[in-house]
Amino acid sequence: MKIIMLGAPGAGKGTQAKLLAEKYQIPHISTGDIFRANIKQGTELGKKAKEYMDQGLLVPDELVVDLVVDRVAQDDCAGGYILDGFPRTIPQAEALDAALERSGEQIDRAVDVEVADEHIVSRMAGRRACVGCGATYHIQHNPTKEEGICDHCGETLILRDDDQPETVRKRLDVYHEQTQPLIDYYRAQGKLAEVDGAVPMDEVFDAIVRILGE
Ligand code: AP5
CATH of the domain at 97: 3.40.50.300
Distance 152 CA to ligand 1 centre (A): 19
Q: Distance between CA 152 and CA 130 in Å, rounded? A: 9
**Is residue 160, in this structure, part of any structural domain at all?**
no
pLDDT tens, position by position, 117-130: 989 988 898 999 99
Nearest CA to ligand 1 atom 50: 12
Q: Domain total for the chain?
A: 1
11 lines ligand 1 (CB under 6 A): yes
**Is residue 133, in this structure, part of any structural domain at all?**
no
**Is residue 134, in this structure, part of any structural domain at all?**
no
How far does CA 113 lie from the centroid of its chain? 11
pLDDT, residue 121, reads: 87
**Is residue 156, in this structure, part of any structural domain at all?**
no
Distance 104 CA to ligand 1 centre (A): 30
36 lines ligand 1 (CB under 6 A): no
Ligand 1: which atom is nearest the Cα of residue 129? Answer: 44
Contacts of 21 (CB under 8 A, 6+ apart): 27, 28, 82
* Residue 111: closest CA among 24, 30, 12, 214: 12
Confidence of residue 22 (pLDDT cuts 50, 70, 90): very high
Residue 214, pLDDT above cutoff 90:
no
**Is residue 21, in this structure, part of any structural domain at all?**
yes
Helix, strand, or coil (residue 197): coil
Ligand 1: which atom is nearest the Cα of residue 203? Answer: 53
pLDDT tens, position by position, 57-107: 999 999 999 999 999 999 999 999 999 999 999 999 999 999 999 999 999
175 lines ligand 1 (CB under 6 A): no
Query: What are the Cα distances from residue 202, in Å, to 53, 110, 140, 175, 178?
Result: 29, 19, 15, 25, 29
Cis bond upstream, residue 87 (ω within 30): yes
Distance 14 CA to ligand 1 centre (A): 6
Whole-model pTM over 0.85:
yes
**Is residue 148, in this structure, part of any structural domain at all?**
no
